[in-house]
Amino acid sequence: MAESDVTSEYRALVAKLNGWRREYYTEDAPSVEDHVYDVAYQRLLAIEAAHPNLVAVDSPTQLVGDVVSPDFSKVPHPVPMLSMGDVFSLEALQAWADRLAASDPAPDGYNVELKIDGLSLSLVYEKGVLVQGSTRGDGSVGEDVTANVRTIPDIPQTLPRPLDLEVRGECYMPKAAFAKLNAAREAAGEPPFANPRNAAAGSLRQLDVAVTRARSLATFMYTVVAPENYGLTTQHEALGFMKDLGFATNPTSVVAKDMSTMADYIQSQTADRDALPYGIDGIVVKVNDLALQAALGNTVKVPRWEIAYKFPPEEAATTVLDIEWTIGRTGVVTPTAVMTPVQLAGTTVARASLHNVDLLRQKDIRIGDTVMLHKAGDIIPEVSTVVMAKRPASSVPAPVPTTCPSCKEPLVHLDDEVALRCINPRCPAQVQEQLTHFASRNAMNIDGLGPKIIQQLLARKLVDDVAGLYRLTAADLADLDKFKEKSVNNLLKAIEASRQNSVERLLFGLGIRHVGGKAAASLAAAFGDLDHLATAAHDDIAAVDGIGPIIADSVVAYFKNPGAKVLIEELREAGVNLAYKGAAPAATDGFWAGKTVVITGSFADFSRPALTARLKQLGAKVTGSVSKRTDLLVAGEAAGSKLTKAQDLGVTVMDAAELAQTLNQA
């Protein structure tokens, strides 16, 4: 190949790989599978080995991680957090071990560990107290994620010994949590995460710690920085040391004296990979002797004393027989590929979600196509690519529905979503979820009307939308399982009381996309009643303080739907109040009046929104962050970083028992 052609290929590879790196590390949204990146990266290494004069400072071979997000404070790493070299076969692993065997002194053993599919994390302790958590970033500078790290259950906040210590490891998302999160994102019309690593990264790098807390993250720690300070001589000892201090360490690691033991470990872990509750993408082999690790040192990017054996991609070819469109409980319409059954990662797979219209078009998946199938995070079947060479000559793009497969109402594709959505409130596929939300405490607050009762009402065809609740009679309810006279009377009283709610509760209960409790209250106060809101212009809605164009889009689209118009008329005829009754005036005296209050943790007797509303009614100003201007922190169970900050600032802290006593007095 001519030098000019090599140079052109090299620069194109650098640009392509850096784009993929940005998607993977910074945006947490990779567009290609790991093995696609690995193949291109190995080609880049081959070119640089043959043409060292071409090696550029922006080459991925010279970089670790990616840029630090400006949303987080920077944390320098005095000891760099490096990447690892990769091998893709036992022969290549043997060649790496042979090179180390030729060193002086030669390693006399290796610690062999699982390569967890997560993101690198550093934890710093002072006198046994956690003071900092940070990401790897670009290897030299990471992101300060201390507040988020404090929400991860298996990270100790204090150590049993008052040590100054830095440990490093991997933050990951368990497979079950990954599947649950992606299901919720798809139901909300949001793009799913590509794999557990990106889900973990996106969860740890949240500006709202409540989001991180809800994501069920976990860790495995595997490195002690400056191990000589603690008398540690081997990697195996370091793992035991961290375990004794309360860190989560992976229990599967072994010490191997030779290649045969390493190969046996790799074979057994590869076979057991699918059964693990967390994702792994390879095996890590480390020189066990910590002093020898230090002597071997690093290249500009990777340690010489460790290597990652990467699993080959597990894919299967199959044929797309059909593309089905199904509607979820929140109205999102999802395409699903129906395929010739194949064996993949230990199970038979015949269906795979195509997630949304944008992805379907991007990958151009058609009926009759031969596709490559893999499992995202080892659990979720996913189409990776279409084998274009096998596409039938008669192939045409898959048709996209314009009406709901359940109710036949027109579908909408809102500007801020990747999903098609049915916004008909009377759609049969969505009614159960709508009824549950409508009756919830923060909506119409119909006490006693839970999911199990709603299931019975639907099964007996006693209701078919939320307006049907107001037509229920004692005779209807008496027919329900385990429903005695007292239960019947209590539920009818709760339904009757809900007719008189101020309209913001009804507006929230209708389940309009993006309209939460706060937005509903703002809209109700601004327009006075549901009729004025339903006929308001988009710009007038968007102009309401705290609303904006996205919520306005949803509101306008909802009230244009014929099903919504019918539902509102049914609610009016049922005597449900459609007017704003005004916020209850806040108290101007008493213990809470005028105090700036922050709430943290959970409470057995209150939901957070209900407690917030109660304190505001008593005259308090409830804010979300602790500062010197905070008068009082109300701390429930599992209080996190806000409690620590309040204690540091000398802010008065009230526990749940004191809260209950004070509210009773009020």
Q: What is the pLDDT of residue 247?
A: 97
pTM over 0.85: no
Q: Taking 70 as the threshold, does the pLDDT of residue 26 lie above it?
A: no
pLDDT digits (tens, 9 = 90+) for 135-173: 998 888 999 999 899 999 999 999 999 999 999 999 999
Last residue of a domain, one of 23, 39, 62: 62
Residue 7 lies in a domain: yes
> What per-residue confidence (pLDDT) applies to 116?
93
Identify whether residues 544 and 439 lie together within a single domain: yes
pLDDT band at 287 (very low <50, low <70, confident <90, very high): very high
Using 50, 70 and 90 to split pLDDT, how confident is the model at 64? low
Q: Is the same domain home to 442 and 382? A: no
Report the chain's mean pLDDT, rounded to a whole number.
87
- Domain that includes residue 10, residue range: 3-62
How large is the C-alpha radius of gyration of the chain? 29
Is 115 an annotated catalytic residue? yes
Residue 588 in domain: no
Strand partners, 148: none
Distance, in Å, from the CA atom of 181 to the CA atom of 195, rounded to the nearest integer, reads 11
| pLDDT tens track for 599-611 | 988 887 766 766 8
According to the model, what pLDDT value does residue 492 have?
Answer: 93
Are 143 and 86 within one domain?
Answer: yes
pLDDT in tens, 174-217: 998 998 888 887 776 677 887 788 888 888 888 777 788 888 99
Q: What is residue 396's predicted lDDT score, i.e. its pLDDT?
A: 93
pLDDT, one tens digit per residue, over 244-272 is 999 999 999 999 999 999 999 999 998 88
Do 287 and 323 have their domain in common? Answer: no
Residue 523 forms part of a structural domain: yes
Residues 541 and 611 in one domain: no
Domain at 195, CATH number: 3.30.470.30
> Tens of pLDDT along 352-392?
988 888 888 888 999 999 999 887 655 678 888 899 999 99
Is 578 within the bounds of a domain?
no
Please write the tens of the pLDDT for every residue from 452-467.
898 899 888 899 889 9
Whichever domain contains 21, its CATH number is: 1.10.287.610
Residue 424 included in any domain: no
Q: In the prediction, which pLDDT does 63 show? A: 67
Question: Where does the pLDDT of residue 302 fall: very low under 50, low under 70, confident under 90, or very high at 90 and above?
Answer: confident
| Measured CA angle at 325 (ends 197, 455), to 5 deg | 90
Q: Report the percent of the chain where pLDDT is more than 70.
A: 94
Residues 6+ apart with CB under 8 A from 89: none
The pLDDT value recorded for residue 68 is: 58
CA distance 536 to 556: 8
If one compares 1 and 497, the residue with the highest pLDDT of the two is: 497
189 with 303, same domain: the answer is yes
The answer on 354 and 282 residing in a single domain is no
Give the per-residue pLDDT at 648.
87
Which tens digit of pLDDT belongs to each residue from 405-434?
888 889 987 666 677 888 887 787 778 878
Alpha helices (H) along 574-625 = 608-617
Q: What is the pLDDT of residue 510?
A: 92
Q: How far apart are CA 628 and CA 435, in angstroms?
A: 43
Confidence of residue 29 (pLDDT cuts 50, 70, 90): low
Strand partners, 166: 124
- Specify the higher pLDDT residue, 79 or 331: 79
Select from 35, 62, 89 the last residue of a domain.
62
Q: Are residues 52 and 144 in the same domain?
A: no
Is 579 within the bounds of a domain? no
What's the pLDDT at 391? 93
Is the domain of 42 the same as that of 127? Answer: no
Indicate whether 377 and 289 sit together in one domain. no
Check whether residue 230 and residue 107 sit in a common domain: yes
> CATH code at 379?
2.40.50.140
Structure confidence by residue, pLDDT tens digits, 563-580: 899 999 999 999 999 999
Q: How many domains does the chain have?
A: 5
* Boundary-marking domain end, from 262, 294, 310: 310
Please tell me which residue in 16, 115, 461, 560 is annotated as part of the active site. 115
DSSP label at 289? Answer: B
Q: What percent of the chain has pLDDT over 90?
A: 42
Question: Residue 505's domain is classified under what CATH number?
Answer: 1.10.150.20
The pLDDT value recorded for residue 501 is: 94
State whether 305 and 327 are in the same domain: no
Contact 549, 542 (CB under 8 A): yes
Judge whether 585 lies within some domain: no
Q: Does 400 reside within a domain?
A: no
